[in-house]
Chains A and B, each alone.
Chain A
Amino acid sequence: MTMIGWLQIILFCGIIVALAKPLGWYMTRVFNGEKTFLSPVLRPTEAGIYWISGVDEKREQHWLTYTVSMLLFHVGGFLIIYGVMRLQAVLPFNPAGQGAVAEDLSFNTAISFITNTNWQNYGGESTISYLVQMIGLTHQNFLSAATGIALAVALIRGFSRASMRTVGNFWVDVTRTTLYVLLPICVVYTLFLISQGMPQTLGDYVEATTLEGAKQTIAVGPVASQVAIKMLGTNGGGFFNANAAHPFENPTALSNFVQMISIFALGAALTNVFGRMVGNQRQGWAILSVMGVLFLAGVAVTYWAEANGTSTLHALGLTGGNMEGKEVRFGIVASSLFAVITTAASCGAVNAMHDSFTALGGMIPLINMQLGEIIVGGVGAGLYGMLLFVVLAIFVAGLMVGRTPEYVGKKIEAREVKMAMLAILVLPLMYLGWTAVGVVYPAGVASMANAGPHGFTEVLYAYTSATGNNGSAFAGLTGNTLFYNLTLASAMFVGRFFMIVPAMAIAGSLAAKKSIPPSAGTFPTTGGLFVGLVVGVILIIGGLTFFPALALGPIVEHLAMNAGQVF
């Protein structure tokens, strides 16, 4: 670890905190339907979209209608992706002549993108056409991100409203998020990325003759426009197989730094939106503090482990950290930081191969996802995931003093706690359950690339990433098989929607409640005690759930490595 490494980490955190307030202010105005500086340009388009699709923007929806609208929207999104993947061979924008994608891989990818997971069982440049990249993947990057934000806003409205039956209008929330938040940022961001060297072309792959006279086919494409939303919307599905490690998908140290910021920017700002909408920004800062504590702890461990290297490297006298699977322009610190960010948020883009990380360095990304990706988290999804843990923490605090718990003016009662527990329990059911199947079923075992405990970790990582809708991988695992395509798709589906529906049920039930003013007996939820309590609840619930699985994977591998054992 070096001073300059830590300075980069501190600079990153400072920028995220500095952006939270202005972005939160702007987004709050967008969600409240107020005028913004972009309204003169975008308002006519917005009104036109409502008119043509028959949306009455004044009509709000009950939480159930809101949820059903969201589900219908996703059915359509699924059909579009599946359709263009199966038909890409006969559709335009296919200069590399890619053939139709297999049924199971198309199914897996369609589920992967509508759930904001963006797990890559496909190899971007070797499997899919430009049309699929644009109309299938880029578009769903926008819409799954907009959906996540809309759901978070609906849940916030549950807290901020009193005695109301509705939580907003899904169609309006999605349209406004896409038009006013995601698109304008992406337009500027794309141009910046191109200036750094990211291709944006519909031309053919380039045939080069190298200095030594060999042929090199260089894959290009409309990369920048997809990467912008892939990062901003915490989607993470790469244009290329190597994702953000590919020099075209992340050309410079600056493009890397800005990409890391864009993963966290909206998620962190949503905590400020929460504070503003419930009438006290300090409530938002308290939540961001919980995230910050967990984040920095993770960064410290991964950075230390990667800088330290492995005993294989030490035995050969190699110093400078674990550079296997990392790029020179990023080095140890920017690779470690990126890995923690991408798994804390549910982004899943990678600028280094997590499979080649040290045992402990690779364990932190795993833990981040197993905690439910609540450390900033996916856009929207992180906030509603965190609020579920807050509900539990408040409930625990209420039990300690024997008083009905309250949070931002709402009584937390049996229904909310049951729903929060349902959402939190369904995640380990998926990733532990499927891992148990994957490590004994022959088709699951055959896909492992590494032997010993590392092979187990590959499977655990795959299901954890799918359930958490992250999409990063211990990529040695051959995921493009019938078994993994189907089981991973089921984990992604359950991990997304079985979390959303209970969260929306909480939103509906909270919105209907009366708001009660704080009294002397109200537990203050803006201070250090609250932050400590939430961190504790997250770690205890998480630790009890997945520690045994970690012991079988990265922990035993670390001990074996120190004993000089290889597999």
Chain B
Amino acid sequence: MLREIRPAIVLLLVLTAITGLAYPLAMTGIAGAIFPAQAQGSLIEKDGKVVGSALIGQEFKDDKYFHGRPSATLAPDPNDSTKTVSAPYNAANSGGSNLGPTSKALADRLKEDVDRLKAENPNAAVPVDLVTTSASGLDPDISPEAAQFQVPRVAKARNLSEDQLRQIVASSTQGRLLGLLGEPRVNVLALNLALDRASAK
């Protein structure tokens, strides 16, 4: 048994160096050369400043922007570091609400949001993704229905016609891959950037 001690130490160190250092560092080097944009986090710049990542959702509250899904991410309470406070779309601390199917807190939150959205647009059914929090709290997408649902509000805030907005939404909608994988969706940040460009014209 004693002769197994040397491999236990040396082999472990060698394999650690290969899989824990050489492999990730080599992949980082190659990634920087062939996929530099993705490797850095698919960042979007506007007027030379980083406005976000194409893959990470951000919070929109203004009526003139399309809103993303509710986010359950948290941040440390600035007044008491042992507690946390709500901080939607905190991209340095991802997470979901973890509220279960029979949670009263979830039922109350859903009812409040559904009532608010019904008041905003009484003519359409409330899409489920617009009132449920995502798993990561950073979901960049909403369903095409959730985008269409918000068209009247955004049109009013921007003084644009609803038809014009529906066109922008349609052109920002991504379908299933090969018509099969995933779900149809609209990237909220991309949609709002397209909207800003259209308004600027």
Binding site for B on A (CB under 8 A): 4, 7-8, 11, 49, 52-55, 65, 68-69, 72-73, 75-77, 80, 123, 125-126, 134-136, 138-139, 141-143, 171, 174-175, 178, 183, 186-187, 190-191, 194-203, 205-212, 214, 216-220, 222, 224-226, 229, 240-242, 245-248, 251-254, 256-257, 309-310, 312-313, 316-331, 334-335, 350-353, 355-359, 449-454, 457, 474-476, 557, 560-561, 565-567
CA distance A241 to B39 in the complex (A): 19
Q: Considering the complex, give the chain A residue whose CB is closest to the CB of B111.
A: A316
Tell me whether B155 is interfacial, beta carbon within 8 Å. no
CB distance from A212 to the nearest CB of B (A): 6
Chain B residues near A248 (CB-CB < 8 A): 41, 53, 55-56
CA distance A350 to B94 in the complex (A): 13
Chain A residues near B103 (CB-CB < 8 A): 450-451, 454, 566-567
Chain A residues near B25 (CB-CB < 8 A): 134
CB distance from A383 to the nearest CB of B (A): 23
Q: Contact at B127–A320, with CB atoms within 8 Å? A: yes
Chain A residues near B60 (CB-CB < 8 A): 211-212
Chain A residues near B15 (CB-CB < 8 A): 49, 139, 142-143, 174-175, 178
CB distance from B18 to the nearest CB of A (A): 8
Which of A171, A222, A325 gathers the greatest number of chain B CB atoms within 10 Å? A325
Q: Contact at B100–A214, with CB atoms within 8 Å? A: no
Tell me whether B6 is interfacial, beta carbon within 8 Å. yes
CA distance A557 to B103 in the complex (A): 10
Q: Contact at B8–A318, with CB atoms within 8 Å? A: no
Tell me whether B119 is interfacial, beta carbon within 8 Å. no
Q: Contact at A247–B55, with CB atoms within 8 Å? A: yes
Known interface pairs A138-B19, A211-B192. Does A318 touch B12 (Cβ–Cβ under 8 Å)? no
Q: Contact at A49–B11, with CB atoms within 8 Å? A: yes
Q: Which of B18, B49, B52, B99 contacts A216 (CB 8 A)?
A: B52
Chain B residues near A240 (CB-CB < 8 A): 94, 136
CB distance from B169 to the nearest CB of A (A): 14
| Interface residue ranges of B141-185 to A (CB < 8 Å) | 141-143, 176-177, 180-183, 185
Across chains A and B, which 4 residue pairs bring their CB atoms closest together, nearest first? A253-B182, A139-B20, A476-B98, A245-B135
Binding site for A on B (CB under 8 A): 1, 3-12, 14-16, 18-21, 23-25, 27-28, 30-32, 34-35, 38-43, 49-62, 65, 69, 89-104, 106-107, 110-111, 114, 125-129, 131-143, 176-177, 180-183, 185, 189, 192-193, 196
Q: Contact at B93–A126, with CB atoms within 8 Å? A: yes
Q: Considering the complex, give the chain B residue whose CB is closest to the CB of A477.
A: B98
CB distance from A288 to the nearest CB of B (A): 24
CA distance A175 to B93 in the complex (A): 36
Q: Which of B31, B95, B126, B181 contacts A241 (CB 8 A)?
A: B95
Known interface pairs A210-B51, A211-B51, A248-B56. Does A328 touch B192 (Cβ–Cβ under 8 Å)? no
Chain A residues near B92 (CB-CB < 8 A): 125-126, 205, 217-219
Known interface pairs A139-B15, A183-B23, A353-B96. Does A211 touch B101 (Cβ–Cβ under 8 Å)? no
CA distance A53 to B3 in the complex (A): 11
CB distance from A357 to the nearest CB of B (A): 7
Chain A residues near B41 (CB-CB < 8 A): 199, 201, 206, 218, 220, 248
CB distance from B60 to the nearest CB of A (A): 6
Which of A194, A313, A319 gathers the greatest number of chain B CB atoms within 10 Å? A194
Chain B residues near A561 (CB-CB < 8 A): 101-102
Q: Considering the complex, give the chain B residue whose CB is closest to the CB of A220.
A: B41
Q: Contact at B132–A324, with CB atoms within 8 Å? A: yes
Q: Contact at A245–B134, with CB atoms within 8 Å? A: yes
Which of A75, A222, A224, A316 gathers the greatest number of chain B CB atoms within 10 Å? A316
Known interface pairs A138-B20, A325-B133. Does A452 touch B102 (Cβ–Cβ under 8 Å)? yes
Chain B residues near A245 (CB-CB < 8 A): 94, 96, 134-136
Q: Contact at B181–A324, with CB atoms within 8 Å? A: no
Chain B residues near A320 (CB-CB < 8 A): 127-129, 143
CA distance A338 to B140 in the complex (A): 20
Chain A residues near B104 (CB-CB < 8 A): 451, 566-567
Chain B residues near A186 (CB-CB < 8 A): 23
CA distance A72 to B135 in the complex (A): 39
Q: Which of A54, A246, A254 contacts B138 (CB 8 A)?
A: A246
Q: Contact at A242–B182, with CB atoms within 8 Å? A: no
Q: Contact at B28–A201, with CB atoms within 8 Å? A: yes
Q: Contact at A190–B27, with CB atoms within 8 Å? A: yes
Q: Which of A253, A331, A476 contacts B99 (CB 8 A)?
A: A476
CB distance from A312 to the nearest CB of B (A): 5
Q: Considering the complex, give the chain A residue whose CB is closest to the CB of B108.
A: A566
Which of A312, A335, A352 gathers the greatest number of chain B CB atoms within 10 Å? A312
Q: Contact at B93–A241, with CB atoms within 8 Å? A: yes
Q: Considering the complex, give the chain A residue whose CB is closest to the CB of B44.
A: A208
Chain B residues near A454 (CB-CB < 8 A): 100-103
Known interface pairs A134-B20, A252-B182. Does A356 touch B101 (Cβ–Cβ under 8 Å)? yes
CA distance A75 to B5 in the complex (A): 11
Q: Contact at A212–B27, with CB atoms within 8 Å? A: no
Q: Contact at B97–A324, with CB atoms within 8 Å? A: yes
CA distance A497 to B35 in the complex (A): 41
CA distance A222 to B183 in the complex (A): 28
CA distance A451 to B107 in the complex (A): 13
Q: Considering the complex, give the chain B residue whose CB is closest to the CB of A560.
A: B102
Q: Contact at B135–A325, with CB atoms within 8 Å? A: yes
Q: Contact at A55–B7, with CB atoms within 8 Å? A: yes
Given pairs A125-B93, A248-B53, A325-B135, 15 additional interface contacts (CB within 8 A): A49-B14, A53-B7, A55-B11, A138-B19, A138-B24, A199-B39, A202-B28, A209-B50, A216-B89, A242-B94, A252-B182, A257-B181, A328-B185, A359-B100, A359-B101
Q: Contact at B134–A327, with CB atoms within 8 Å? A: yes
Chain A residues near B8 (CB-CB < 8 A): 69, 72-73, 75-76
Q: Considering the complex, give the chain A residue whose CB is closest to the CB of B193.
A: A211
Q: Contact at B42–A53, with CB atoms within 8 Å? A: no
